[in-house]
């Protein structure tokens, strides 16, 4: 009994020390959403449980090694213990109770985090290798930067054009997979005005680490001003080249095709129009309008030598004939 009391006291002291010195706020970025408050609370509970279980295992192990070690000159066998029914029942029942309690807490917190709001704003998130696009159906806008009003409940409708991605802003805590052919929901209410980053939390290819997007949380007046300015800017795109540049940014082209000659995943668009391109079968083609249009609609037909077939094959369903004409017009302007 003496040894049992000693170990319990040490376990309690070590657990308290762990809880005091391991502050969850030091391990996480600043909190910036109402859903994150629930997540941080649950994370704090897990850390306390981890501190206790770590102390329980380590203290009993080290205490046994030190106190019950073989004494010098003692060559006899240790005391034989057949078992302890009460202890075996305890270490079976107690974990079951803990699992049930944590399961219940998990259900409650998941319900709180995913709860809908009658005043929520819809933002459609479209991911592709390796770019993000944010559509605002209520305002008729698309942007490569996520702009949100503070304290406004937002329902994100998230999908992917190619492989599985994962929408994640660390300061918002919650995240959601972007799956091709499916729309997954994520609800976030930003609570702190500031600048953040969208990151992809699912390994999605060679430029996964660079799949970032800027996030700006503004006050309501600032958000309304942004909407007005974006509507005016888009209305001013009265040339094919300007509309093509907008498509280059919003449709994910920027993630694979540089404008300055840098080689990334796909061929650079610098001096592309009229250039001789060697295909993977050894043939040479001229990058004229027909070639560019075919490469957009059927990217797997003519692969440039040295590159892989990574471009999404569904742009024929996404882009109109006018959109493709605008893109080609923009490509023509990208010259040294």
Total-model pTM: 0.76
Residue pair 263/175 in contact (Cβ under 8 Å)? The answer is no
Q: CA-to-CA distance for 185 and 201, rounded, in angstroms?
A: 16
pLDDT of amino acid 314: 79
* Integer-rounded Cα radius of gyration of the chain: 29
The Cα angle at residue 43 between residues 41 and 47, in degrees rounded to 5: 120
194 backbone φψ class: left, alpha, beta (φ>0; ψ -120 to 50): left
Tens of pLDDT, residue by residue over 220-242, are: 999 999 999 988 888 877 788 88
The pLDDT profile of the chain, 336 residues, written as one tens digit per residue, is: 788 888 889 999 999 988 888 776 677 899 999 999 999 988 888 888 899 999 989 998 998 888 887 777 777 777 777 778 888 898 899 889 989 999 999 999 899 889 889 999 999 999 988 889 999 999 988 899 999 999 999 999 999 988 999 999 999 999 999 999 999 999 999 999 999 999 999 998 888 998 999 999 999 999 999 999 988 888 877 788 888 888 888 887 887 888 888 887 888 899 898 889 888 888 899 989 998 999 898 888 888 988 888 788 878 888 888 889 989 999 999 988
Query: 218, 150 in Cβ contact below 8 A?
Result: yes
pLDDT at residue 59 in the model: 92
CB 175 within 8 A of CB 34: no
Show Cβ contacts of residue 35 under 8 Å, excluding neighbours closer than 6 positions: 112, 113, 172, 173, 174, 187, 188, 189
Residue 187: name the closest of 202, 205, 169 by CA. 169
pLDDT in tens, 75-115: 777 777 777 888 889 889 988 998 999 999 999 989 988 98
- The reported pLDDT for the residue numbered 316 is 81
């Amino acid at each position: 009994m003496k040894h049992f009391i000693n170990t319990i006291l040490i376990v309690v002291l070590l657990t308290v020390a762990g809880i005091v010195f391991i502050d969850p706020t030091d391990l996480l970025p600043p909190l910036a959403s109402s859903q994150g408050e629930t997540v941080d609370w649950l994370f704090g509970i897990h850390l306390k449980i981890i501190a206790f279980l770590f102390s329980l295992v380590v203290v009993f192990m080290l205490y046994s090694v030190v106190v019950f070690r073989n004494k010098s000159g003692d060559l006899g066998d240790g005391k034989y213990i057949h078992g302890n029914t009460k202890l075996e029942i305890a270490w079976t029942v107690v974990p079951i109770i803990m699992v049930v309690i944590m399961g219940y807490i998990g259900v409650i917190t998941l319900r709180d985090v995913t709860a809908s709001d009658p005043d929520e704003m819809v933002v459609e998130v479209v991911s592709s290798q390796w770019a993000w696009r944010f559509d605002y159906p209520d305002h008729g806008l698309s942007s490569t930067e996520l702009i949100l009003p503070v304290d406004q409940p937002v329902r994100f409708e998230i999908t992917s054009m190619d492989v599985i991605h994962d929408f994640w802003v660390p300061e918002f805590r919650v995240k959601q997979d972007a799956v091709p052919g499916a729309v997954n929901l994520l609800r976030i209410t930003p609570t702190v005005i500031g600048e953040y980053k969208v990151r992809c939390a699912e390994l999605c290819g060679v430029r996964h680490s660079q799949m970032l997007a800027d996030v700006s949380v503004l006050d309501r007046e600032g958000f309304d001003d942004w909407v007005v300015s974006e509507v005016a800017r888009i209305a001013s795109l009265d040339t094919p080249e300007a509309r093509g540049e907008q498509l280059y940014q919003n449709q994910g082209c920027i993630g694979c095709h540089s404008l300055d000659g840098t080689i990334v995943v796909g061929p650079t668009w610098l001096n592309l129009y009229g250039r001789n391109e060697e295909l993977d079968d050894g043939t040479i083609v001229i990058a004229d309008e027909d070639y560019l249009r075919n490469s957009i609609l059927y990217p797997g037909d003519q692969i440039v030598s040295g590159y892989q077939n990574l471009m999404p094959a569904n742009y024929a369903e996404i882009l109109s004939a006018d959109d493709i004409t605008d893109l080609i017009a923009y490509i023509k302007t990208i010259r040294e």
